Amino acid sequence: MESFAKPGGRLTGVHWLGRELTAKRFEILKEMLPKLRRVVTFYNPGNRTSSENAKLAREAARHLRVDIVERHVISVEQLRAALDRLKTGEVDAYFYVGDAMVVSQAQLIVDTANAKRLPTMFHERGIVAKGALAGYGVNYREVGRASAKHVQRVLTGTSPKDLPIENTDRLELILNLKTAKALGLTIPPSLVQRADQVIE
């Protein structure tokens, strides 16, 4: 690939931020929960991307003086067992570290965490709409629209080498005040004002 502007060959597409947002997501969680001292996360250590994401989370946690409890899970069954073993009060929040297997069970994580009165920080609006406390990340609807435009251009005859790789950098903060109320939390008004979407 020559560059994003001129990929060349048969490569093109849409690029968005992922791992780069881990530290900011942690900062928002700490701002939301000023007394935050200990968070839990689940990921597969055999997944290289997940391990890199966990390293970034570790660094962000250390910077914010928060302990991160890393639970290694390599299957949905192990994730379910780890969630079952999680004791109320053992940690102050759940923090999502990018892992495809784990996010496939997002609803289970949200439901378990809410039942144990545990705030959750994820990376996208759909999970917050289903009960997570907060999410910060790219707008996947925008990613989908940009991707669909690329597909349309290729299908109508444009060569991929002539299509620049697009950057989708629209980030959004989503807060679920209904979940906050159920957990007995008050989210700082300044954070609520900055949110792109507030679910009530």
pLDDT at position 162: 61
Confidence of residue 20 (pLDDT cuts 50, 70, 90): confident
CATH number for position 27: 3.40.50.2300
Task: Assess contact for 44 and 99: CB atoms under 8 A.
Answer: yes
Residue 199: in which H helix or E strand, if any? strand 197-199
DSSP assignment of 161-194, as one string?
GGSPPEEE--EEEEEEHHHHHHTT----HHHHHH
Check whether 151 has a pLDDT greater than 90: no
The total domain count for the chain is: 1
pLDDT at position 152: 59
CA 69, 71, 74 angle in degrees (round to 5)? 160
pLDDT at position 39: 97
Q: Tell me, yes or no, whether 144 lies in a domain.
A: no
Q: Tell me, yes or no, whether 159 lies in a domain.
A: no
Which residue range(s) make up the domain with 51?
Answer: 14-139+169-199
Cα of 106 vs its chain's centroid, Å: 10
Check whether 183 has a pLDDT greater than 80: yes
Q: Tell me, yes or no, whether 158 lies in a domain.
A: no
SS3 content of the chain, % helix, strand, coil (to 5): 45, 20, 35
pLDDT digits (tens, 9 = 90+) for 63-112: 999 999 999 999 999 999 999 999 888 999 999 998 999 999 999 999 99
pLDDT at position 184: 96
pLDDT at position 130: 96
pLDDT at position 175: 97
pLDDT at position 171: 83
Q: Tell me, yes or no, whether 153 lies in a domain.
A: no
